[in-house]
């Protein structure tokens, strides 16, 4: 007996005995590969996988592999070396638009220099944009926020977690003082964040300077109607670091949920409770690049007889660049003769003016006026306006813009943009649309009804990846702006081998099925908005699934970051109509990729109800009770949010548990009635603490089960017996059962097995790891009852018989990706089998170990074995 992947395996098969008669002597890796494929057919490997899975499932899930310490990132080492060294300013600096301010991607700016990277505002979807367009988040060291509003901070929690996982040692947040409270709120669901230092620099701090530029924060306070002024010029009252923070106390019930009716807050020492949120504050930024010494003109220096090319030239160049006159060969040489002029350092300003109440304090601000036409500091090179059209139309704001010098460039970021941000998402959807136009509908854009303001100064409207170069010279650069041409995407797919042939065959089969039964019954309709895990990807956003129950009611299952952006791209200008129909949101657990899109959804829903002329009503939020400290913290310090939700703790919907308060019972009954549901049930699943799955049973008879994140779970099987549709996570491929146990997820076959035990009519797999960005690996367990989910995929009950017919064209469309994944899997299996073979007893001794029954001493290896090992090493090196 030997152990393969911790699963016992008996060697009494003829194939193994045949192999064991001959020692492993191979001159190449290919020979071993041929042997592996001969001795280990796919079915045998599959059995080994299942055995490994069974063995893994018996292990304690808490046992995790210790992670090696992260190495210091190279750019961090370089920055440390630059400290305390008198170097000149950066030579290459540009400002680049990430989010242009559209409704699906709020305004955000990326500032690049060879020394530092900065991000101005970090709304939802910022991280996904950076990943798609290869803007490295790992290089960020400063994030600057103009306002404590979800539009600006919605992606910050995910960005912090990504920076932590990447190994960034420190990130500095600048802006409103409530940022400290926001970071504390993030710790509610992220944990202690010990691996990254998050420093908050409130607007009351003095100016900040690094290797690239000096940054001044300029607070602007408005007199908002109905909002008392909470600001004070005294930093001791304005900054949370100088005032004790209120402690949130949430008594826990016996089941680990928040106990109803027993919420209490500790009052601050000043007596009474006081919220720290301040919607009357925005922070503008004045950024001045450090001066850059002029360039030394080598040819001119040679003409003047300077010792160019010798060791004596070094001190001469240093003195001339410092503006000193030098004497060489009895002749005075002035700096301007051999050096270009020193660049004093341009200034750019970032300002947000969210409403008309901020116009007057902005226009009269003395710090900003110093960079206008008659200002003491000289004119700004660039002013970035994160300003809606209603403010741009204001005469006072127009006059303020006109006071800048004619040479000042103006960049405007707001919803009046016509740019596509997520090009890869549009590309894959245009290609999938060739397979089935209703299941994979074309994506849409949101347009604004506001009329574009007529401004009297030259201005540029933002586009994704538009650049303004500050050094070496001022210029707009449009070469990086992504192009979104659906016809090119279709043409690219049509040129793939066998793809169009498979599409034609698929369409014929679908037509035959549709003619027999028809694609009837629009509801229920399942729209997959996010089918990836952990991090937003180019083609898969994080978890979110919209269930349209009827023409007037819908339920959202999980709400990861960027869910509202996905709704905008799916429904376009009808997104407000869709939001008004949303009555219930289910959050499976408190991991960031499942709930950080909730707040934006709530705020946008309120806006939609107002624009559609419908009365406001809170949604029913079915979620772990642990979500409430997060909502309370954000409500107390950032934006009012609590009136948007009627909370129903998930625990109270599990079998045998009754809500202790009449108010919660009333919420449950109202939710069921509004959604026309007979039953809304939850069960605890095997993932993190307080993770839940849910089951929705409609009065018409259909039942949908949503697993959330989980390992194979018997409670889920029992809850979903004979379900119409099971949506189950399949984070990892078969063969990675140990990793699945470690991360508490399911593999493809495990997810399918749960559906089979449940006797579900159909199984949709989702929540795929980033390594399966476009398509997961098809396992041997796939049948006509299994489908793969994609972002923006729309599925009805009548589509169950159609979905398996889509697999051949899907395999043809992603043939290259599938081949790469298969190669990776074969290499992994080959490595596992080599490791297993080294433990097989051969002629009374173990390869790489001791013989059975006795401990063998060291023995000489055969020359053939040494030669084979040497050859293998050469192959690995090559």
Render pLDDT for 161-194 as a digit per residue (tens, 0 to 9): 999 988 899 999 999 999 999 999 999 998 888 8
Mean pLDDT of 540-565: 97
* CATH superfamily, domain at 89-228+279-289+345-477: Ribonuclease Z/Hydroxyacylglutathione hydrolase-like (3.60.15.10)
pLDDT at 652 over 70: yes
Q: Report the C-alpha gap between 68 and 373 in whole angstroms.
A: 56
Q: Report the C-alpha gap between 291 and 300 in whole angstroms.
A: 23
Whole-number pLDDT of residue 83: 56
Whole-number pLDDT of residue 77: 58
What band does 487 get if pLDDT is binned at 50, 70 and 90?
A: very high
Whole-number pLDDT of residue 750: 97
Task: Kindly report, residue by residue over 294-336, the tens digit of the pLDDT.
Answer: 888 888 888 888 999 888 898 888 888 788 888 888 888 888 8
What band does 53 get if pLDDT is binned at 50, 70 and 90?
A: very low
The alpha carbons of the chain give a radius of gyration, in whole angstroms, of 31
Whole-number pLDDT of residue 227: 56
What mean pLDDT is reported for the chain?
84
Do strands 117-120 and 382-386 pair parallel, antiparallel, or not at all (unpaired)?
A: unpaired
Mean pLDDT of 503-522: 84
Min mean pLDDT across 55-59, 415-419, 624-628 is at 55-59
According to DSSP, the residues that pair with 648 across neighbouring strands are 622
pLDDT at 254 over 60: no
pLDDT at 457 over 60: yes
Exposed / middle / buried, residue 682 (Cβ in 10 Å: 0-12, 13-18, 19+): buried
Strand order, beta sheet including 382-386: 208-209, 213-221, 281-289, 347-352, 382-386, 409-412, 460-461
Min mean pLDDT across 213-217, 282-286, 519-523, 707-711 is at 519-523
Whole-number pLDDT of residue 2: 39
Whole-number pLDDT of residue 284: 97
Task: Kindly report, residue by residue over 195-251, the tens digit of the pLDDT.
Answer: 899 999 999 987 899 999 999 999 999 988 765 444 333 333 333 333 322 322 333
pLDDT at 666 over 70: yes
pLDDT at 261 over 80: no
Backbone angles phi, psi at 564, to 5 degrees: -65, -40
Task: Kindly report, residue by residue over 353-384, the tens digit of the pLDDT.
Answer: 999 999 999 999 999 999 998 777 889 999 99
Mean pLDDT of 129-146: 94
423-432 and 486-494 helices cross at what angle (nearest 10)? 50
Higher pLDDT, 441 or 70: 441
Beta carbons of 37 and 84 less than 8 angstroms apart = no
- The structure tokens listed for 572 are 């376009």
Right CATH number for 521-797 from 3.60.15.10, 3.30.110.30, 3.40.50.11890, 3.40.50.720? Answer: 3.60.15.10
pLDDT at 55 over 50: no
**Residue 41: other Cβ atoms inside 10 A:** 12
Mean pLDDT of 675-695: 97
Q: Report the C-alpha gap between 667 and 260 in whole angstroms.
A: 13
Beta carbons of 126 and 98 less than 8 angstroms apart = yes
pLDDT at 159 over 80: yes
What band does 848 get if pLDDT is binned at 50, 70 and 90?
A: very low
Q: Report the C-alpha gap between 349 and 411 in whole angstroms.
A: 10
Q: Report the C-alpha gap between 617 and 601 in whole angstroms.
A: 14
- Looking at the chain, which residues constitute the CATH 3.60.15.10 domain(s)? 89-228+279-289+345-477, 521-797
Mean pLDDT of 457-477: 96
pLDDT at 845 over 60: no
């Amino acid at each position: 007996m030997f152990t393969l992947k911790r699963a016992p395996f008996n060697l009494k098969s003829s194939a193994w005995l045949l192999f064991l008669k001959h020692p492993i002597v191979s001159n190449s890796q290919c020979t071993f590969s041929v042997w592996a494929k001969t001795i280990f057919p796919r079915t045998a490997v599959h059995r080994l996988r299942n055995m490994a899975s069974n063995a893994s499932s018996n292990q304690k899930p808490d046992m995790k592999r210790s992670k090696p310490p992260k190495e210091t990132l190279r750019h961090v080492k370089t920055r440390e070396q630059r400290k305390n060294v008198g170097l000149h300013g950066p030579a290459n600096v540009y400002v680049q638009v990430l989010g242009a301010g559209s409704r699906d991607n709020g305004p955000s700016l990326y500032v690049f220099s060879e020394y530092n990277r900065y991000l101005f505002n970090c709304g939802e979807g910022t991280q996904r944009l950076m990943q798609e367009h290869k803007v490295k988040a790992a290089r960020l060291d400063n994030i600057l926020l103009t306002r404590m509003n979800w539009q600006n901070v919605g992606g910050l929690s995910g960005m912090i977690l990504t920076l932590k996982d990447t190994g960034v040692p420190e990130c500095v947040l600048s802006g409103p003082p409530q940022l400290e409270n926001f970071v504390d709120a993030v710790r509610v669901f992220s944990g202690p964040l010990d691996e990254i230092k998050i420093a908050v620099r409130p607007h009351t701090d003095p100016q900040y300077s690094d290797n690239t530029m000096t940054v001044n924060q300029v607070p602007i306070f408005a007199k908002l109607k109905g909002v008392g002024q909470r600001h004070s010029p005294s930093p001791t009252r304005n900054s949370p670091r100088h005032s004790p923070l209120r402690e949130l106390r949430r008594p826990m019930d016996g089941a680990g949920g928040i106990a109803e009716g027993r919420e209490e807050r500790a009052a601050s020492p000043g007596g009474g409770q006081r919220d720290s949120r301040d919607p009357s504050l925005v922070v503008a930024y004045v950024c001045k690049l450090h001066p850059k010494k002029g360039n030394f003109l080598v040819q001119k220096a040679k003409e003047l007889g300077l010792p160019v090319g010798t060791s004596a030239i070094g001190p001469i160049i240093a003195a001339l660049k410092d503006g000193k006159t030098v004497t060489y060969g009895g002749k005075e040489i002035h700096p301007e003769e051999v050096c270009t002029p020193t660049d004093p350092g341009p200034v750019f300003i970032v300002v947000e003016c969210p409403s008309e109440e901020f116009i007057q304090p902005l226009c009269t601000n003395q710090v900003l006026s110093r960079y206008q036409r008659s200002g003491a500091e000289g004119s700004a090179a660039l002013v970035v306006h994160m300003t809606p059209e209603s403010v741009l139309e204001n005469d006072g704001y127009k006059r303020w813009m006109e006071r800048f010098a004619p040479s000042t460039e103006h960049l405007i970021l707001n919803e009046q943009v016509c740019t596509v941000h997520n090009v890869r998402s549009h590309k894959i959807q245009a290609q999938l649309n060739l397979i089935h136009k209703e299941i994979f509908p074309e994506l849409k854009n949101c347009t604004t009804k506001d009329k574009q303001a007529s401004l009297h100064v030259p201005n540029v409207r933002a586009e994704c990846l538009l650049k303004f170069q500050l050094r070496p010279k001022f210029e707009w650069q449009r070469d990086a702006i992504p192009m979104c041409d659906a016809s090119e995407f279709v043409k690219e797919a049509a040129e793939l081998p066998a793809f169009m042939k498979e599409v034609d065959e698929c369409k014929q089969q679908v037509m035959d099925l549709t003619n027999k039964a028809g694609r009837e019954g629009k509801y229920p309709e399942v729209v997959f908005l996010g089918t990836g895990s952990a991090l937003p990807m180019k083609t898969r956003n994080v978890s979110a699934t919209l269930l349209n129950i009827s023409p007037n009611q819908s339920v959202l299952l999980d709400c990861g970051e960027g869910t509202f952006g996905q709704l905008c791209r799916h429904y376009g200008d009808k997104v407000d109509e869709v939001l008004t129909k949303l009555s219930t949101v289910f959050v499976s657990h408190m991991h960031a990729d499942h709930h950080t899109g909730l707040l934006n959804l709530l705020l946008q829903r309120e806006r939609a109800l107002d624009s559609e002329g419908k009365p406001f009503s809170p949604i029913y939020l079915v979620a772990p009770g642990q979500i409430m400290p997060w909502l309370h913290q954000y409500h107390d310090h950032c934006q009012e949010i609590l009136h948007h939700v009627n909370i129903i703790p998930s625990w109270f919907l599990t079998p045998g548990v009754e809500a202790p308060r009449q108010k919660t019972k009333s919420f449950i009954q109202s939710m069921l009635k509004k959604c026309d549901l007979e039953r809304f049930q939850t069960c605890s699943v095997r993932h993190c603490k307080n993770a839940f799955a849910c089951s929705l049973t409609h009065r018409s008879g259909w039942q949908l089960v949503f697993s959330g994140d989980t390992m194979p779970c018997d409670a889920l099987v029992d809850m979903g017996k004979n379900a119409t549709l099971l949506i189950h996570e399949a984070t990892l491929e078969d063969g990675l059962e140990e990793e699945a146990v470690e991360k508490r997820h399911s593999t493809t076959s495990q997810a399918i097995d749960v559906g089979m035990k449940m006797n579900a009519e159909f199984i949709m797999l989702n929540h795929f790891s980033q390594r399966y960005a476009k398509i997961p690996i098809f396992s041997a367990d796939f049948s006509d009852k299994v489908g793969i989910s994609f972002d923006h995929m729309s599925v009805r009950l009548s589509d169950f018989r159609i979905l398996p017919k889509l697999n051949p064209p899907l395999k043809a469309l992603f043939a290259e990706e599938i081949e790469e994944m298969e190669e990776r899997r074969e290499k992994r299996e080959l490595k596992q089998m080599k490791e297993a073979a080294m433990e097989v007893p051969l002629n009374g001794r173990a390869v790489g170990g001791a013989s059975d029954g006795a401990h063998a001493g060291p023995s000489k290896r055969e020359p053939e074995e040494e030669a084979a090992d040497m050859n293998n090493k050469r192959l690995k090196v090559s």
